[in-house]
Structures are given as C-alpha cells and as structure tokens.
Structure 1
Amino acid sequence: MNNALRITAFAAALAATFGTAYGVGRGLDLLVAAEDRPAQRHAGHGAGEEGGGRMGPGHVAGGLQISDGGYTLALETPTIRAGARTEIRFVITDDNGRTVTDYRREHGKELHFILASSDLTEFRHLHPVRAADGTWATPVDLPEAGGYRAFADFTPAAEGAENLTLGADLAVSGMYRPAAPPAPRATAEVDGYRVALDGELRAGRGGELKLTVSRNGRPVTDLQPYLGAYGHLVALRSGDLAYLHVHPNEGGPGPAVSFAATAPSAGTYRLFLDFRHEGKVRTAAFTVRVAPEKGAAEPQESGTGKSGAHAH
C-alpha cells in the first residue's frame, strides 16, 4: 500500500470513530432494559445481579460517557492496526486522577471489556489482566479497519460505588471497507451451532426473548455456566452504540435461554449472545428492528459508522 492510500485509509478510520463520538454525544435513550426489576443507575453486570436493570427517561445509557461517577476510562492505545495482534492497554482513574487498583468481582471478574465496531459487525467480549499498578491489558486482533467503541464494565471497591459502564473511541487503521449492517434473521449459525431467536422487542412494551441452541438438528441440553450464567446477552443500538449487558431469567442448562426485555424506542439493534458448550464460548449475533409505538414518529438514528448509514 502506498503512503497516500495508507493515510486515506487511516483518515477514514478516524472519521468513522469521530462519527461514532458524535452519535455518542447525542445521548440517545437506552436501547434494551430488563422488565420487572428494580431501577438501576447503570446498566451492566451490577444490574445483571438482579437479572437486568431498567433505564427510564432522564438516565444516561451505559457506555455513552468516557467519565461518570468520578471515574474515567483512559485508553493508552487509542489506535491499533487492523489484522495485527495488538495489546490494548487502559486504566480506570478516579476523580483525583489516581489509577484504580481495587474492584469488586462481578460474575467472577473484576472488569468486563467489550469492543464493537461502529457498524456492529465486529464484537469482542474480553477479560483483560490487571497489573499491580492498575493497568489493564488484553491482546486483540481486529480484522476490519474503522471506528470502534471500547466499553469497560466494572464496579469499584470504594464504599458506595456503583456499577459503571464507560466507553471510549478506538481507531483501527488499515484498508477501510464499508459494510452494511447484517439483515434481520431469526437464526444465527456459529461453529456448527444453530441459535434460534423467538419473541420480539417492542417499543415501550415488555416482552420475552428466547434463544434456543441446537447442533446437528438436536437441542443442546447441557450448556455450561459461563461467568455464573448459562447465557450472556449484550445489546447495542445502531448509531450511538448505547450498551446494556442483560442476564437471563432463571432456568438452564438449555437448550433455551430467555431474557425479559423491552425497547424504549424504535430503532435497529444488534444482540450478541455468549454461550458455553464443551468448554468453549461462542457468540451468536442477531439484528433486530423495532417499530415505533402506534402514533409515535420513528426517531432518526445518529452517528456515522463503517456502513455509512445507521438507520448497532
């Protein structure tokens, strides 16, 4: 690749990232919230302890802010290269600028780290390692260039601290290939497994999402616990990449994992289900479109991602 093309590709990645940041700055409502649970200040693993939290009007969706509650997510590697295995390093600082080194464990981990491309075609749920000085590090290999969002989901050990999901922009340089969001489908295939999605998200109304896992035409009835649950669902909204980590209803070990959820507004969503079987974690992804409530105008989605049109 000549120098001019490299610069153009990198500029496109930065433009995609800044477009995501613009959508984040708009501060749209949270995309999915668990029904019939106590209200939570933040969506995330803390909310998941009660099966998921509900975000009402006036609350800020998880992952839309780089700083909240006196804590800040500081990426030490805000730019990486596509297709190259790279170590991402970051710290969480408090309101005095000190690096946080003490966390509460949530579902077996001190911190959960999510990476998602602005068009929501790439997704990683990672568990970085923390050094004694509070620096987190995790290797990653992202195949596509463009704008990404990094989410840190954690609870500080400080007295009175609540669960937080902070987000920061990540630029991935390299050859930039615009991609359209995947079309909605009721099934997803991953590593020979078939996951069927039943139920629907409705704007302003509760409903149940049931995801059923099968392999070779037979239901998988021996799903293994992963981080203390039989399934984890991350939902991201197209445009602003608002974040919610939902945990399943009671039940298991398969073949179905269900989630009580609602979409407070119309839009396009990407759902990522992590499930564990035979010692390996796999991720099934779905695109879901939610129609506006009767009599309500459908909102315009904000943000500019790799696809160039956000109708995550």
Structure 2
Amino acid sequence: MRTPLKLGVYALGLAAVFGAAAGVGNIAGPAPAPAAHTDTHHTATTPTGAGHDDHQDATPGGLQVTENGYRLQPLTTTLSTTSTAPFRFRVLGPDAQPVTGYTVSHDKELHLIVVRRDLSGFQHLHPQRDPDGTWSLPLAVATPGQYRVFADFQPAGHGRGLTLGVDVPAPGDYQPVALPAPQRTATVDGYTVVLDGTLTPGTASKLTLTVTRNGAPVTDLQPYLGAYGHLVALRDGDLAYLHVHPDGTPGDGHTAAGPQITFFAEVPSAGTYRLFLDFQHAGVVRTAEFTAVAGTAPAPSAAGHGEPGHTHG
C-alpha cells in the first residue's frame, strides 16, 4: 500500500486507527516526530502520490480517476447488496492499454479499498489480475449507496505509487449514516484498540495504537502484508485518501508484535478523518475504526453511526 499518512496526494486514511471527551483531535500523546515513516512508494515528507517527481502534484490521493496518464477503468458498473458478484476493472497506461506490469508493495501488486461515501462499509481487498491486465474479485457491499473504489498501486518502471479513485453505485434505498464522533477507543470482535496521539496538520504526528483482548495485552500480533498493522485515513467531505505503514518491520529484531503499533502520520489540512486500522491475530484480519479531528475542524455528530469494526474474510 501507500505511504505516510500524508493527505497531500495514500494518503491515505491509510486504518485505521485509526481526557476522552476532548476527542482525538485533542488526544494527549508524544510530541510529533520530525519525520514520517517511509513506505516503498513514497518519501516520508512527500504527499501520497507525489513521490520523487520534480513536479509535485498537490492533489490528494484518490480524488482523481486519472493521473500521470494512468486511468482507473471500472468494467463493472454497479455493486450488489444481495449476493457476492464479480467486480472487474483495469488500469490503463499512458498508451491507453491495460497495465500488466506492477511493482509488488507489501506483498501485493495492487490494493483495493471500497467504502461508502458516508465513510461506512470499509473493505480492504486484494483482487487477482489476469494476463490481459483485467483485475477481478468477488464483491458485495452491505447497503445501497454511492461507493468510492480506490486502486493503490505502482506500475513497473514508474518512479512512485499512485492512488486512483472512482465512484460505483450500489442501487437501492440509500439511508445515509452520520459519521461517529471522535473517540480514543474502538472495539471489534472482542478486541479493544486505544488510539494515543494528536493529528496536527502539516506535521508528522506520532500515533500509537494499543491492542488488547479481554483486558489482556495482545503481544503476538501476526504479520499482515509485511507489517503488524496498516492504517488508512479518509478525509470527511471529499474522501481524500491516505495510507501509512507502522514504524518497524516484523522480524527486524526490535519491533515487538504488539500490543502497541506506532505510526507517523501527516495530514496537510485541518479536518475530520476516518481512520481504519487493519491488524491480524489468531489468523484473522480485523479492522478497528476511529474518527479523528485534526486542527480546529468541527467534530461530526455521533448520531446514527455505522458498525464499529470490520472483519476481513
């Protein structure tokens, strides 16, 4: 996936996790670190999608269907809420032909994020690619609505990773869900994840997520896609996408397998963000979800929020 949680151009979001009444925007934590963690796609101080190019695109990742000549082309035009159905798409290159060469990042050639535009129904998926460049996977969403589909990838020979996004509808009676209020704690499948740290716009902010189960620290997290956790952030309002991987690597001799997972995240603007943390334990990947406020953005209403967490199959 893509690198420092920098809302500038994989962002991102991007996890997840991602005084309690003060909200995440005022969470007390260690002072921001001087530099964010570096992913294989981007430098720590560069907006997602900007990489090392001399010309730095200021557009946040995931807001565009096309960038640098690459285009995300959905071949499936609607999503199903009643049964799992194939979802197919291609990435077209500058020559208008399907891209068939990719650089593997965190064990995958391409990472697919699907989320409803009200930031509910988050899914982190990994489709399969046919030799002709067509990607496909079985997909169903829980409720009708407009969904944003993000493809996070790095073409072979390209200097940096890209995140492209496109809207795909799920027909039916759409009932919007209000964004949950900022909070420090999320629960999913008997696990509790506590977020410590403050999102400060324009600064690499240290976020520490602590995982416990039934009150006991989880010290045997399992590597998932080459890391003990993956954090995706999406900005409320436009769904600008950020993604960051944790500090340290499994098996490096000093990174503990929990209970804490540390990220260095940089968001460029004040605003409300939804964070999604993927972590694996006991052979199952789970997602803890948080709402965080950076700067002085008003907190969203707590009414009518969606499910608190998501389990990967």
- Length-normalised TM-score, structure 1: 0.77
Indicate yes or no: 2:75 matched with 1:76. yes
In structure 2, the partner of 1:271 is: 275
* Identical positions, percent: 49
Matches within 5 A, 1:96-135: 96-135=95-134
In structure 1, the partner of 2:224 is: 226
Q: Relative to 1, partners in 2 of residues 1:38 and 1:200: Cα closer, same or farther, differing over 3 Å?
A: closer
* Cα offset, 1:264, TM superposition: 2.0
Distance 1:173 1:271 in 2: 26
In structure 1, the partner of 2:293 is: 289
Write the letter of the residue equivalent to 2:46: R
Q: Relative to 1, partners in 2 of residues 1:36 and 1:54: Cα closer, same or farther, differing over 3 Å?
A: farther
Selected match of 1:46 from 30, 41, 44? 41
In structure 2, the partner of 1:62 is: 61
Q: Equivalent residue of 1:78, what SS?
A: coil
Q: Relative to 1, partners in 2 of residues 1:37 and 1:208: Cα closer, same or farther, differing over 3 Å?
A: closer
Work out whether residues 36 and 205 of structure 2, in 8 Å CA contact, stay in contact via their aligned partners in 1: no
Work out whether residues 8 and 267 of structure 2, in 8 Å CA contact, stay in contact via their aligned partners in 1: no
Distance 2:135 2:94 in 1: 19
Cα deviation code 1:39-76 (max 9, x no counterpart): 99xxx7613xx6x5532996221111111111111001
Distance 1:73 1:161 in 2: 18
* Cα offset, 1:204, TM superposition: 3.0
* Cα offset, 1:129, TM superposition: 0.5
Higher relative contact order at CA 8 Å, sep ≥6: structure 1 or structure 2? 2
* Cα offset, 1:193, TM superposition: 0.6
In structure 2, the partner of 1:171 is: 169
* Cα offset, 1:36, TM superposition: 4.5
Q: Relative to 1, partners in 2 of residues 1:36 and 1:101: Cα closer, same or farther, differing over 3 Å?
A: farther
Q: Which runs of 5+ in 2 are unaligned?
A: 1-6, 15-31, 51-55, 249-254, 306-313
In structure 2, the partner of 1:9 is: none
Distance 1:252 1:97 in 2: 45
Distance 1:83 1:212 in 2: 36
Selected match of 1:182 from 176, 180, 186? 180
In structure 2, the partner of 1:3 is: none
Distance 2:129 2:90 in 1: 9
Matches within 5 A, 1:5-20: none
In structure 2, the partner of 1:280 is: 284
Cα deviation code 1:91-119 (max 9, x no counterpart): 01112211111111111111100111111
Q: Relative to 1, partners in 2 of residues 1:221 and 1:163: Cα closer, same or farther, differing over 3 Å?
A: same
* Cα offset, 1:255, TM superposition: 0.3
Write the letter of the residue equivalent to 1:61: P
Indicate yes or no: 2:201 matched with 1:199. no
Distance 2:129 2:40 in 1: 18
In structure 1, the partner of 2:240 is: 242
Work out whether residues 39 and 54 of structure 1, in 8 Å CA contact, stay in contact via their aligned partners in 2: no
* Cα offset, 1:205, TM superposition: 3.3
In structure 1, the partner of 2:207 is: 209
Work out whether residues 37 and 246 of structure 2, in 8 Å CA contact, stay in contact via their aligned partners in 1: no
In structure 2, the partner of 1:156 is: 155
Q: Equivalent residue of 1:60, what SS?
A: coil
Work out whether residues 35 and 262 of structure 1, in 8 Å CA contact, stay in contact via their aligned partners in 2: no
Work out whether residues 80 and 172 of structure 1, in 8 Å CA contact, stay in contact via their aligned partners in 2: yes
- The count of residues paired between Structure 1 and Structure 2 equals 263
Distance 1:153 1:127 in 2: 10
Q: Which runs of 5+ in 1 are unaligned?
A: 1-27, 293-297, 308-312
Distance 2:34 2:228 in 1: 20
* Cα offset, 1:243, TM superposition: 0.6
Q: Equivalent residue of 1:207, what SS?
A: strand
In structure 2, the partner of 1:147 is: 146
Distance 2:103 2:202 in 1: 33
**Structure with greater helix percent:** 1
Q: Equivalent residue of 2:242, what SS?
A: strand
In structure 2, the partner of 1:252 is: 256
Distance 1:59 1:93 in 2: 22
